[in-house]
Chain A
């Protein structure tokens, strides 16, 4: 039993931290805080990270990694998000699926550019009528010679507007049982016929509708076997969902720092505040332990079942609860938005409070995550 990182992992963590301290500049932070996706500063950072093989440390060297443990991937994500770097990097999680399950010709084409931070791939799953019931997707792909013609619509594809490619789940056989008529394609988002329209959440975060109108995609861009896309879809989702939440830790630390400094009165006049802070310190810590546990289990060859979906099942509600608690601690000041006179911490907390609603519905609704845990525990389904 060991609760420390290996010497290799510690070295990597140190290297990543030093890099982040140096390179995550005001431009990157502003883009992250803007909730508009990865802008030019963020992309520059991602390229630099990629050129140092930091984005995908567990990947084989031939694909742009360092052959380190899966834990190193988690360490990287934690440090990236803690330092307020661009997140999520859907492309990395998607490419990981490609690495494990994809056809050789697509691995050769995409893995290195993703690992180098040269291209990014957006997740393209959700449709207006297919959220939790993902297998209900309707976006149709019809075979036509060497190509497929795609028609339909995706929604809440948050990274689409700044990515080069789209990893989409489409219906290739409308007559087969739901799960068995699906395929995955990687589509060039510059293809004629694709329209991206912004949508905004209550926190101002930009997401997108993506419309496909007679979009022609080469057959070789089909990732799965025809109609074998469901297992790919599930695999690509799993990776990101189990990450430890460095961004939440950053918010805890900055609120903690505020309380010890300008916000002294808040806890000195209200003892319950310190109890809440202690409670969330513990809650964040155990969540991190469980998230790192998953990586450790993978690295130690232990089968991961319920331990995976358990993490987002905890993490989403934890985020919500934490920001609700911070709002309570702030009292009336919590209602102030960014740019307002008197707003503490530049409005970050109220913005995250609004954004926290999103955390329990993305990458699998919390209810679905819990059902996955329940199934993995062996609870009867019927």
Chain B
């Protein structure tokens, strides 16, 4: 066992930290929260030029041929910096599924666009009402029509749909006794007639949308994977994108830990740093326990994925654990910061709000523990 990063990973980490420290200060993070677009197109192009968007795609598509583990290191730095914008959706909700389940044509069309910064991607799964990441909740319909399909229905909580060039829409193409049968993923051009996107207001600072599909035509060639057999791909998308989110959350937890120890050492009350009070010490200890345990399970899952080992169990464990951990960490850290920690202009609140968003992104702890329970052979009747 070895927890050290490779030399390459260290270089990537340091380069990312340097870039983000300089180009993505918290003032910009706050500005972009208020901005409708929610990201800086200029910085998007810069990170494309740095090779970040194409990091894990093959060279032939303009990518860096690096592994998910390398991406994990980058994502951790982004989480630390609260990097705004559709990076995670583009790479893990769009790029990865196309890389692993797309046709040669689809890969050749979309992956270079992602790597070069030209195309922003996202995936639409949840719907209003029964908003669960379960097959039975998929009600958006895709009906066969001439040389393609027509989509009707509404998706909700779609990350960055308002700036996306493409939306992977998870729709029902066939009614079946088993909910998992009859689901198909469509790569939809976001500019298609019939799509209405409404930006939602979130407390997390991220951009999520309602996306209404009104007779939206999609060519047959835009099906990702096989007709009616899309649900297993959806599960895979959820697994890997949720794991990517864990990497971001680990970075956030580490930043919060450091910030909190520093604050506790500096803040003097009763003629002594508050770090010298045991209750404050306990909060910090609980923070590092959560931060480090999340780090270990997240990187274990990422390492397994990168080395061709089964990783579903570990990915579910990571999301279940880290999602709750980040919320605990930011709650405690906020407490240590006292009054200043709840102020809108303090960095603490950026992390606190992102922790909540991260917990809920692509399945909360209970959802992923259900997957773990199934892995332990507790099949629900």
Contact = CB atoms under 8 A, between A and B. Distances in A.
Contacts of A377: 261, 284-285, 288
A267 interface: yes
Interface in B35-87: 69
B281 A297 contact: no
B338 to A, nearest CB: 16
B276 interface: yes
Contacts of B278: 367, 371
Given A268-B381, A290-B296, A300-B2, A379 B303 contact: no
A194 B4 CA distance: 50
In this complex, the member of A71, A274, A310, A378 whose beta carbon has the largest number of chain B beta carbons within 10 angstroms is A274
Interface residues of B, dominant DSSP? helix
Interface string A339-382: 00000000000000000000000000001001101100111111
Interface stretch (B192-200, B222-230, B340-348, B365-373): B365-373
Interface residues of A, number: 47
A281 B284 contact: no
A379 B376 contact: no
A379 B278 CA distance: 10
Question: What is the interface residue range for chain B against chain A?
Answer: 35 or more
Nearest to B372: A278
B273 interface: yes
Contacts of B275: 374, 379-380
A233 B265 CA distance: 30
B110 interface: no
Contact of B2 (A275, A277, A296): A296
B220 interface: no
Interface in A270-312: 271, 274-275, 277-279, 281-282, 285-287, 289-290, 292-293, 295-297, 300, 302, 306-307, 310
B146 interface: no
Contact of A293 (B1, B282, B381): B1
Interface of B: 1-6, 9, 69, 261, 264-265, 272-273, 275-276, 278, 280-282, 284-285, 288-289, 292-294, 296-297, 299-300, 303-304, 317, 320-321, 366, 369-370, 372-373, 376-378, 380-381
Given A268-B381, A371-B281, 14 more contacts: A1-B3, A1-B6, A4-B1, A274-B380, A282-B369, A289-B300, A292-B1, A296-B1, A296-B3, A314-B289, A371-B278, A373-B285, A377-B261, A379-B265
Interface of A: 1-5, 71, 256, 259-260, 267-268, 271, 274-275, 277-279, 281-282, 285-287, 289-290, 292-293, 295-297, 300, 302, 306-307, 310, 313-314, 367, 370-371, 373-374, 377-382
